[in-house]
Structure 1
Amino acid sequence: MHFRKLSNSLGAEVVGFRITADCAPDDLAGIRQAFAQYQVLLFRDQDISFDTHIAFSRKFGPLEQHDAIPEYRHPDHPELIVVTNEGKERSKVFGQQWHSDHSMTLRPSMASLLHAHVIPEVGGDTMFANMYEAYDTLSDGMKRLLAPMRAVHTVIAAKHLRGLDEKTLAAKARNNPPVVHPVVRIHPVTGRPALYVNEMLTSHFEGMTVAESQPLLQYLFAHSTRSESVYRHQWRKHDVLMWDNRCTMHLALMDYDHQQLRRLFRTTLEGDCAGEYLDAAATAAATATATATATA
């Protein structure tokens, strides 16, 4: 087993390794070390079952049952969500904005493992951004400004939910009340600071309005996704991608024929409790603002 870099900024292919339900401890140790170094790992040509996918994922920690997004959960395997365009309008396929998985929860996902079952003939790539690099390349003055700040993350800020009726949005808000996270998050394994805001789920800064927050947020979003900090993955059937949600963001591109099926399955590793709920008044205000934006 060895590792081949996928880009200058982040990502590596794991070469000479076969995913099984019972991997050798030395191989797992090497994968963990590489994961901390490269942030995104690619395993090519892995024709594995759901059970093997789940068992391998568990080697790295407890798995989410996806209670926050039950509509995407596999009916027979709650550890899996179905990532697909099947039966959906193009505008309703999620993942089209930069995001970190489940940042709208108290325990944002530690990592995700996505297995490609059916992919379109061309397109449907996934982009990954290095959030260590996003932080490291900020000015010292910006780092000082951001150090004490926290941001509000809410599911109903997501673009793919815009246009839903208020009753549906209110139900989503009840299932996932807005939470606050540090704008700069310290990685628990590497100890490195990473920028932790994303355009899909971050609505505003704590103590500021949405309008006041937007200029700085938009700058940070653009700064985080500069071409030199991004890896673009071109999917092949039976690819498995594993990424660290604590120090990366990702984006699903819609540059493919929507008449062609795209179906992948994802496990999600539970993360640390990194956030806090807003107080009742702030939650109500954040939900009302996000709902108004989503229904506009």
Structure 2
Amino acid sequence: MTSVIENRQTDTAQLTVEPIAGYLGAEVSGIDLKDDITAQVGDALRDALFEHKVLFFRDQRLDHDQQIRFTEYYGPVTGAHPLGYTDKSPAGFPEILEVDSRTYASRAGGRQYSYASFWHQDVTALVNPPAVTVLRAELVPEFGGDTTWADLAAAYDNLPASLQRFLEGLNAENRFGGRAPQWSDGSESESLTRDKPIISEHPVVRVHPVTGRKLLYVNPGFTSRIVGLSARRSDRILDLLFDEVTNPAYTVRIAWTPDSVGVWDNRATIHLAPTDLGHLDVVRVLHRTTVEGDIPVGVDGRKSNSVSGEPFLSTRR
């Protein structure tokens, strides 16, 4: 069902939001993201994001400055990454993380097409993980390389009530790599996470600060253990929860096209970078920006706490 946002227009066309999957995801048309966005349209885009959790815009030829300016409609823009990765930012744009397959080391049998080709939220090792992520495609293969997102509210809603209540009393530790880091010995990721550890404890069930929805707030890429439980019990619970949050029923898979822009609510979703390109000789280049996040709050009002590391804040105040 297509929803047309009435009386909220750009200079050229009417904004249209078309859902593309059962739980989450929508394609947005009728807007040129290079243009100045009115307050009404900005409000409509924020409302659409919180409703659909993932928005996709096609045929948006943006430069780095324009991407940063668009990202600012969702909040203060952070640096590219809390660990630095300054070599992965275009010159003069420290807010942008360049995801370029040509910069990643080759793996046995093929290439790597993202620095995190596993289910994750963006940087939940932080005490205030990014609220929103914007990813712009520059070069993408003719086929393959899709990204998949999953709905953390749907994952929580579909649990039995008794299990919901149990989980609402738990905290989980989040660190880079989660339970089983997938980087090689001596790699840049290993050295950065060793020399600058960032570790936080978050409620297993988080309340979204805008929608009030309860979210199953764990992800395989960062969640390492349930606080206060033995390793065996923690692993059993995390196995159950990881299976739930990656249930295909709660997902949307979207194909990138040149000049497409994806925006997702990083509080309410997890995502999976492509794993189907390693045997192909293709190039994939995208540019990521993130919005400063808030400190998660649990159902009982408990806030996340930092074990190691500082909040990740915007430098543009």
Q: TM-score, normalised by structure 1?
A: 0.88
Q: Distance in 1 between matches of 2:103 and 2:181?
A: 15
Report if aligned partners of 1:155, 1:173 keep a CA contact under 8 Å in 2.
no
Secondary structure at the aligned position of 1:236 is classed as coil
Partner of 1:103: 124
Partner of 2:286: 264
Higher helix proportion (structure 1 or 2) = 1
Which moved further from structure 2: 270-279 or 4-13? 270-279
Partner of 1:66: 80
Q: Distance in 1 between matches of 2:284 and 2:155?
A: 30
Report if aligned partners of 1:123, 1:254 keep a CA contact under 8 Å in 2.
no
Partner of 2:26: 12
Query: Is the counterpart of residue 278 in structure 1 residue 314 in structure 2?
Result: no
| Structure 2 CA distance for partners of 1:76 and 1:145, relative to 1, 3 Å | same
Q: Distance in 2 between matches of 1:74 and 1:160?
A: 27
* Correspondence list, 1:65-214, <5 A: 65-71=79-85, 72-88=88-104, 89=106, 90=111, 93-157=114-178, 161-165=182-186, 169=190, 171-214=192-235
The one of 48, 59, 70 aligned to 1:56: 70
Per-residue deviation, 1:174: 4.0
Per-residue deviation, 1:25: 1.4
Per-residue deviation, 1:161: 4.2
Partner of 2:47: 33
Q: Distance in 1 between matches of 2:103 and 2:81?
A: 22
Q: Distance in 2 between matches of 1:209 and 1:261?
A: 44
Secondary structure at the aligned position of 1:133 is classed as helix
Q: Distance in 2 between matches of 1:209 and 1:244?
A: 32
- Counterpart AA for 2:56: L
| Structure 2 CA distance for partners of 1:66 and 1:167, relative to 1, 3 Å | closer
Report if aligned partners of 1:97, 1:159 keep a CA contact under 8 Å in 2.
no
Report if aligned partners of 2:215, 2:268 keep a CA contact under 8 Å in 1.
yes
Q: Distance in 1 between matches of 2:69 and 2:179?
A: 31
| Structure 2 CA distance for partners of 1:67 and 1:235, relative to 1, 3 Å | closer
- Counterpart AA for 1:145: F
Between the two proteins, what is the percent identity of the paired residues? Answer: 31
Report if aligned partners of 2:170, 2:204 keep a CA contact under 8 Å in 1.
yes
Partner of 1:23: 37
| Structure 2 CA distance for partners of 1:204 and 1:160, relative to 1, 3 Å | closer
What whole-Å deviation, never above 9, does each CA across 1:194-230 have from its counterpart, x for those lacking one? Answer: 0110001111111124433111111111111222110
- Counterpart AA for 1:76: G
Secondary structure at the aligned position of 2:102 is classed as coil
Per-residue deviation, 1:143: 0.5
Which moved further from structure 2: 250-259 or 189-198? 250-259
| Structure 2 CA distance for partners of 1:168 and 1:253, relative to 1, 3 Å | closer
Secondary structure at the aligned position of 2:263 is classed as strand
Secondary structure at the aligned position of 1:208 is classed as coil
Query: Is the counterpart of residue 229 in structure 1 residue 245 in structure 2?
Result: no
- Counterpart AA for 1:143: Q
- Spell out structure 1 runs of 4+ moving beyond 4 A: 158-161
- Counterpart AA for 2:47: Q
Q: Distance in 2 between matches of 1:45 and 1:228?
A: 29
Q: Distance in 2 between matches of 1:138 and 1:258?
A: 39
- Counterpart AA for 1:263: V
- Counterpart AA for 2:284: R
Which moved further from structure 2: 261-270 or 76-85? 76-85
What whole-Å deviation, never above 9, does each CA across 1:240-263 have from its counterpart, x for those lacking one? Answer: 000001110000122125421100
